Amino acid sequence: MEQMSDRGPGISKQYSWYVFFLLFLLYMFDYIDRMVIVSLLPFIKQDWGLSDTQCGLLVSAVSWSILIFSFPASVMVDRWSRRKSIGLMAAVWSLATLACAFTRSFPQLLAVRAAIGVGEAGYAPGGTAMISTLFPHERRARMLGLWNASIPLGGALGIGIGGLVAEHFGWRHAFGIVALPGFLLALLFFTVKDYETVPLVKPVEGEPDKKQIHMRFGDIARQFTENPTLVFNNLGFAANLFVTSALMAWLPTYFHRMDGLAMSQAGPKAGAVLLLAVIGAPLGGYLTDQWLKRKANARLVFPALSSLITAVLLFVAFMFFTGTAQYVVLLAAGLCAVGFVPASVAVTQDVVHPGLRAISLSVNVIMQHLLGTALGPIFVGFVSDKYDLTTGLVCLPAFTLIGSLLFFIGSFFYVQDRAKAEKIELSLDR
């Protein structure tokens, strides 16, 4: 049995990168399957006579399922097997995506979209826990930044592929085309090595080096309820995801309506804004880890700054500009909008017991979906039905500004909460 530590496992760098590559591809297809529907909405709306609010529900249905199932899925990840859990979940969301092609009504499509969320519920917690173990603490944010670059990449590919396929072959075919690769990757992931499940133990007070006891439910709950760093970090994350999920859902339709573009053009145009996050996420992780060498709470100060910049850019874009000038500012916003993600995700791993890492991210996921992604697309759709789509998008920067403030408050607690977290060696045995 090979020894692994919080600073990185005792396995080859090549194997760590191999597992990382599989996790990256799975996360990319996670978001391809999740976001392909965005560029299909005008076609489905026309076929079934849906409102914008109903279209928003089709996007948010995945988030509501993740919200409900994330915690039990993360318990399965932490206490059973990362490898088996991730492989099983990827197979479920891929098959559910395929099933979307065979639906015949809005309720059926809504139900199957919710099933995609059931499969995706524990993937982010499981993948984060594995990456946090495979790579050292001082590189955690940059590796999570690289991994999270798969989100905008997958979102952009899903939106672009969906619009092109729907326009030439029909919207149902788009679901089938994107479902197969994820299923094949799911089968491949069953072959990777897993780390040994971490016992939930803590030192006895007054004897930190001599005796350990099993953590009770109250001890586990206090890891989250009495951890102000996590509370403010998770709320800040949710405020930002409220905005980014709404942008991913509505930018293609916005360009379709405002610029008169066909969806085969509007989808890629919006996708380019989202695709810049492929640079923004790794860059945010790299800058955070570099700053961490000089500033102990950089993993929360940096998200506060990047969120503030994003809020200003989005407000200026939707309030004062149209056409080319607006698009240039939106591209800059796309670069900054996910800069907070790698640092914020790293925080969920930094300040908890190593045996609770997947659960810690699931708490974050619950917050981000309950207050963020499950509401953002619906909110913009509701405002669009009442007023217009531009008004709905103009409201979004206020939520990013709130996120900036929450991260900044959390930064005052990070150092002490990081010091409290247990340090336990992990073992690779499966």
Comparing 16-30, 164-178, 413-427, the range with the smallest average pLDDT is: 413-427
Distance CA 99, CA 102 (A): 6
DSSP state of 259: S
pLDDT tens digit string along 222-273?
878 889 999 999 999 999 999 998 998 899 889 999 888 887 788 788 878 8
Is the model's pLDDT at 187 over the cut of 50?
Answer: yes
Parse the chain into domains and list their residue ranges.
Answer: 2-428
Is the model's pLDDT at 2 over the cut of 50?
Answer: no
Distance CA 126, CA 310 (A): 29
pLDDT tens digit string along 14-59?
888 999 999 999 999 999 999 899 889 889 988 898 888 888 889 8
Distance CA 167, CA 264 (A): 7
N-to-C CA span, the chain: 9
- Which two structure tokens, joined as six digits, stand for 7? 């600073």
Is the model's pLDDT at 61 over the cut of 60?
Answer: yes
- Which two structure tokens, joined as six digits, stand for 349? 């791993």
Per-residue DSSP letters for 30-75?
HHHHHHGGGGGHHHHHHHHT--HHHHHHHHHHHHHHHHHHHHHHHH
DSSP state of 197: P
Give, in order, the Cα–Cα distances in Å from 150 to each of 25, 68, 193. 7, 24, 22
* Cα three-residue angle 72-94-153, rounded to 5 degrees: 95
% the chain with pLDDT above 70: 91
Residue 199 has what pLDDT? 66
DSSP state of 121: T
Domain 2-428, second-level architecture:
Up-down Bundle (1.20)
Pick from 48, 52, 281: which is nearest to 155 by CA?
281
Q: Could you list the beta-strand ranges (E) of 223-353.
A: none
Distance CA 407, CA 348 (A): 13
Selection from 251-265, 380-394, 412-426 with the highest mean pLDDT: 380-394
Residue 108 has what pLDDT? 94
Average pLDDT of the chain, as a whole number: 86
Query: Does residue 224 or residue 5 have the better pLDDT?
Result: 224
Residue 9 has what pLDDT? 46
Is the model's pLDDT at 196 over the cut of 80?
Answer: no
Residue 20, amino acid: F
Residue 10 has what pLDDT? 54
Phi, psi of 118 (to 5 degrees): -60, -45
CB burial of 49-67 (b: ≥16 within 10 Å; e: otherwise) equals ebebbbbbbbbbbbbbbbb
Q: Is beta strand 201-204 parallel, antiparallel or unpaired with respect to 8-9?
A: unpaired
pTM: 0.76
Is the model's pLDDT at 5 over the cut of 50?
Answer: no
Residue 405 has what pLDDT? 98
% the chain with pLDDT above 90: 43
Read off the pLDDT of each residue in 283-312 and give the average, rounded to a whole number. 95
Is the model's pLDDT at 363 over the cut of 50?
Answer: yes
Is the model's pLDDT at 347 over the cut of 90?
Answer: yes
Is the model's pLDDT at 3 over the cut of 50?
Answer: no
Contact between 198 and 426 under an 8 Å Cβ cutoff? The reply is yes
